[in-house]
Amino acid sequence: MTIIIDPQSSGIAGNMIIGALVDLGANEDDLKQIMEKSAYEFGKVEVTFEKIAKHGISSTFCHVEMLEHKHSINYPEFIEKIKTLDLDEKVKNTSLKVFERIAIAESKVHGKSLDEIHFHEVGASDAVADVIGSIYAYYSLNLDNHKIIGLPIAVGGGTVKTAHGTIPVPAPAVVEILKDAKIVGGPVDSELATPTGSAIYAEICDEIREFLPLIKPKKVAYGAGRKDFDHPNVLRIIESSDIAESDRIDVIETNLDHLTGEEIGYLFDTLLDAGASDVSVTPIIMKKNRQGSLLKVISSRQNRDKLIELIFKETGSLGIRISPNLHRGTAKREFVKKTFNIEGKDYEVTFKIGYVNGEIISKRPEYEDLKRIAKESGLALRKVKELIR
């Protein structure tokens, strides 16, 4: 399944993301409880959901009302408070990454270190509710197991009043957060993209595209914005069945010249078990004619940090190279189990089947199943491969 986040006409904000995800199926009662409870440490909020029409488009409006506004808080203290919240670790860790994106942008704009940054609007209770609510809804719908594609963001225009005074739209922090995204001004004289919404979008999107890819839409959800314009102020999210996938991967590399063959073999298996898409080890000649090995690991974005940490831990490497967001074309894949009778005994074999545009392009039995059958039956692996087709 592919999820399309479409902020092309009305931009993006935290409450719009939440509204669209509720429209997609997230439980609003659970969200209300999580958001109000998480924000309490920063100020009391009340969360309500309402089904409304924006210029004829039925959408879900998430309203986060700040009932209490506390003083601004510095970034380290803010993060420590987030870490103490009673949340699922995945929700908490991803929320922390969103806040880190905002803090890095703010620190660059203001020329201060992260320790010196004070959160104003972003550290307010309603922004905390928006971030944690969005990430909770994201995981509750299992969207982390699917590809998320973002389309260009309409950022609006004009000026906006902030704790730092009147600033141009898009706000400097928004521009920093969306440096690798595609943005366009207008179509109204108003702020459309908030730092909170932009940071959530940047964190959960696997890929940013200029146009809608080839998809088969299954469900369309709309999250309403607070403002009213001459056009529908909604964020659209499209759930699609996959026709042909296009993947973004990270390639992680490091040179090894101090590990034994057994240690490299152990590392190979450990990386695959930890979620690497593929691992290869190639003999190389290093400087001073030393023999070594090039370790290359292909990783999805969500597993990259974990795999890098594992490589540092297991190899003691002092440097790891990362080639991020490389394009990889992939066919849609599914796994099908079949039973074969070999010499009077039934064996279950898993086949990996690849599709492109609904047509089967490959159908191969899994090696581990073939190896297991060869060991149990006493037949040669080559013979087992001939019997299972």
Label residue 17 exposed, middle or buried (CB < 10 Å: 0-12, 13-18, 19+). Answer: buried
Rounded Cα gap, residues 200 and 194, in angstroms = 10
Q: Could you tell me which residues come within 8 angstroms of residue 248 by beta carbon, excluding any fewer than 6 positions away? A: 206, 207, 301, 325, 326, 327, 328
Q: What is the DSSP string of 310-342?
A: HHHHHH--S--EEEEEEEEEE-EEEEEEEEEEE
pLDDT of residue 261: 87
Close Cβ partners of 127 (under 8 Å, ≥ 6 residues apart): 14, 121, 196
User: How far lies 141's CA from each of 18, 20, 26, 27, 165, in Å?
Assistant: 12, 12, 6, 9, 39
Q: Helix (H) and strand (E) counts for the chain?
A: 11, 20
Q: Do residues 226 and 191 make contact, with C-beta atoms less than 8 angstroms apart?
A: no
Place of tokens 């020329």: 111
pLDDT of residue 317: 79
What pLDDT, on the 0 to 100 scale, is given for residue 389? 77
The DSSP code sequence of 347-363 is: EEEEEEEEEETTEEEEE
By the 8 A CB rule, do 257 and 291 touch? Answer: yes
302 Cα distance to chain centroid: 6
For residue 206, report the phi and psi dihedrals to the nearest 5 degrees.
-80, -25
Residue 1, classed as helix, strand or coil, is coil
Contact 21, 223 (CB under 8 A): yes
* Dihedral class, residue 18 (left if φ above 0, else alpha if ψ from -120 to 50, else beta): alpha
- List the one residue out of 3, 8, 54, 6 whose CA is nearest residue 26: 3
The pLDDT profile of the chain, 389 residues, written as one tens digit per residue, is 899 999 999 999 999 999 999 999 999 999 999 999 999 989 999 999 999 999 999 999 999 999 987 777 889 999 999 999 999 999 999 999 999 999 999 899 989 888 888 776 555 899 999 999 999 999 999 999 898 999 999 999 999 887 778 999 999 999 999 998 999 999 999 999 999 999 999 999 998 999 998 888 999 999 999 999 999 999 999 999 865 545 567 899 999 888 888 899 999 999 999 999 899 999 999 877 888 899 999 988 778 888 988 988 888 877 888 876 555 555 667 888 999 999 899 999 998 887 665 677 778 899 889 999 999 999 999 899 889 87
- Burial class of residue 13, CB neighbours in 10 A (0-12, 13-18, 19+): buried
